[in-house]
Structure 1
């Protein structure tokens, strides 16, 4: 019962946090364009600055995600969640105060620095929290519900943006971010336990954490118990080599995130340049996608995951992601195509929860933070490469210097990258399952 309440508080915490971050997405493109290139619908400087920010963020998170996951295994998920929840507030507060060019650059610098820690860490730690409290057989469904909560926040945030002015959008986002941090600190229980008591070692203590995580002598699933100290490149390489399924999931994570990040960065400026989209139209588009994704993750995934398995569902999600991406580039002829393409999110949202579920089942119960952090680090590597590859392409083909007339060329390239992830996902085979009672570790009283 206590763990059920813990999950409900986690869902509420994630909803509030994502609500505050998602509601500014439709407005940030207009704010950036107004600050850097007022009165214009095409701005190479904005594209390059966005790409540079994404690359620097990727470098930071590549280092930080494995560290954050490792520390959360030692000191608890709640202690590590506090850091990104608090850091998220400050960049939002700057634009809530003013959106002039000077304040925009202050936001840009601070957002870049804080994103090195915040980007992906909340998602990584929340997945580890769920894995602490949910047995393997139900993990895919709960991961899907967690993703669905994020989609609901995405929808609510974008609907709110639709009816708020730009200044009010950032003010409300800042207020909700503060509420999310307070809610998490006051009501969210920590999920890490020793065999007899809760984790008691403070994160700044020099003593050893009160976590006991015995290694099974003969585990038929070959689950790995790694990382006795802080993470290193050798640890990540050893983890990738220890499980073929884990390494395959890592390849899928890299290419799918490479495509997703490239698509997100390219599409907003593509729609701005070709169709003169503004904050409200971006919000409408995102609401359609979010509603479809929320319905799918909250209703369809808990039904389909036990029947099809997360491996097949992963391939289905990536296949429809390819279809979604490939439908966008020709849309410069018809303005309504992006709205129709957004409906594909009913099925392509399966990919991320399924991939994370596959990863969680390849490690022991006390290694969830490290495993999710490793995958988040690999996704961050994609975040470094994506802007280097797609930002110049986007800027080139939206400019008058394009070698040929194909404004959506960079979007089409992300479709090819997504196809690589789909092909790799087909090769993943389900790992053998063992009864829950045979899994020993720091969380023996998992949710039934």
Structure 2
């Protein structure tokens, strides 16, 4: 419900922004700059907040921390439900920027930790895949609903969906045990390949992070497991490619094939229908058979293939056909999240998923600064050589490079870890 509230609003925001800031105009640089600034500020906020939210959920329980981002997500759409004038838009803009630092990644971060708490390792990959599939299904439903609703109805539906999510969570969601109530915990990222002492804590006296983890804590956390570090590098490269696949890729399609709003919507619907189908059906079936490591490599390979095909496309039907490949690409994130959850103890699921979200947010911030100028250059007459899709191919290279660390990942389940370490509260 919370994802539906986000995705039903997304297609309407460009028109609402243009009408509020530049009524009657087809182009508005102010809207572009404000949208980019908001994306950057929210991204920076997510980098800081995700490890904190994840770690606090380890200490105080998942439900308590999930309540915060779910409740905050109700506020912004309420503003535009009543009126969409310039003043109301700026109020929405400020509130969305502030709440987005917590809500945009906090809901998924804590939800992933909650799933890890309640599912055995054998079923965890399937459960995380289903969670991701529900998010993709929410995108499809939100995009379809947008075609049948008026602008005011869109924001009303978003408000109601967010409220339902908050009420449902309070009534039906069971809270997990707080860290202080845990008696026996799994090791904190014990090095699965070597029987060595941890460089940041002693092997016999490991304490949890402070309630607000510092950068040193997070770096120490990353150093404790080679598998976790490899997963973090794959997460960075995957998000770096996903960031370039957004606006730069859209501008490429518009310049190359004269895409319009409906064309973009059709391609996005095809991709997300494939993603939802894959995450809901394929991952639960394939993960137990071939493992998340194989699915991760398969998804990264599909991502590179997708953009390589698009970069050399000459016919308008090619992007539509290539949009079928997310049936495999969509397996990357849930596979990574499942791998990460299996390398750590139950008392650190939140901080681990928060670290991965934070690393991904950094990549999303950096990606436009690299790919946007490159795309503009090769779509212009000043291109060094005649290859309009060169920047799109470079985006795909991030996925290709990510295959190297992904192939080095070896998932070690907690039952195979040699050491048993207890946590002191």
Q: State whether TM-score is above 0.5.
A: yes
Does the 8 Å contact 2:343/2:414 carry over to 1? no
Segment of structure 1 superposing worse, 295-304 or 244-253: 295-304
Find the counterpart in structure 1 of residue 52 from structure 2.
Answer: 67
Q: Deviations over 1:289-329 (max 9, x none)?
A: 22111111111111111111111110101111112223334
- Give the counterpart of 1:357 among 338, 341, 352: 338
Distance 1:424 1:39 in 2: 50
Find the counterpart in structure 2 of residue 12 from structure 1.
Answer: none
Cα deviation for residue 56 of structure 1 reads: 1.4
1:44-443 equivalent positions in 2, closer than 5 A: 45-192=30-177, 209-214=180-185, 221=192, 227-230=208-211, 231-271=213-253, 275=258, 277-278=260-261, 280-330=262-312, 333-393=314-374, 410-431=391-412, 434=415
Does the 8 Å contact 1:253/1:375 carry over to 2? yes
Q: Deviations over 1:86-126 (max 9, x none)?
A: 22122222333344444434333322221111121111111
Segment of structure 1 superposing worse, 221-230 or 258-267: 221-230
- Alignment CA distance shift 1:218-1:76 (3 Å): closer
Task: Note if 1:31 corresponds to 2:16.
Answer: yes
Q: Deviations over 1:270-297 (max 9, x none)?
A: 556663522x544433222221111111
SS class of match (2:405): helix
- Alignment CA distance shift 1:162-1:351 (3 Å): same
Distance 2:115 2:392 in 1: 34
- Alignment CA distance shift 1:322-1:390 (3 Å): same
Segment of structure 1 superposing worse, 183-192 or 133-142: 183-192
Find the counterpart in structure 2 of residue 5 from structure 1.
Answer: none
Distance 1:63 1:241 in 2: 19
Find the counterpart in structure 2 of residue 202 from structure 1.
Answer: none
Q: Deviations over 1:324-378 (max 9, x none)?
A: 22333455x5433332222111111110001011111111111111111111111
- Alignment CA distance shift 1:228-1:409 (3 Å): same
Distance 2:141 2:421 in 1: 40
SS class of match (2:344): coil
Cα deviation for residue 407 of structure 1 reads: 5.9
Does the 8 Å contact 2:47/2:358 carry over to 1? yes
Does the 8 Å contact 1:51/1:387 carry over to 2? no
SS class of match (1:191): coil
Structure 1's unaligned 5+ residue stretches are 1-15, 195-208, 443-448
- Alignment CA distance shift 1:51-1:307 (3 Å): same
Distance 2:399 2:188 in 1: 39
Cα deviation for residue 81 of structure 1 reads: 1.0
Distance 1:148 1:164 in 2: 24
Does the 8 Å contact 1:57/1:383 carry over to 2? no
Distance 1:30 1:48 in 2: 15
Distance 1:240 1:218 in 2: 9
- Alignment CA distance shift 1:392-1:324 (3 Å): same
Does the 8 Å contact 2:58/2:351 carry over to 1? yes
Cα deviation for residue 391 of structure 1 reads: 4.1
Give the total of aligned pairs. Answer: 410
- Alignment CA distance shift 1:175-1:240 (3 Å): same
Distance 1:154 1:77 in 2: 25
- Alignment CA distance shift 1:101-1:193 (3 Å): closer
SS class of match (1:434): helix
Distance 1:339 1:235 in 2: 45
- Alignment CA distance shift 1:236-1:139 (3 Å): same
- Alignment CA distance shift 1:159-1:423 (3 Å): same
Q: State the superposition RMSD in angstroms.
A: 3.2
SS class of match (2:412): coil
TM-score (norm 2): 0.85
Distance 2:297 2:58 in 1: 30
- Alignment CA distance shift 1:326-1:104 (3 Å): farther
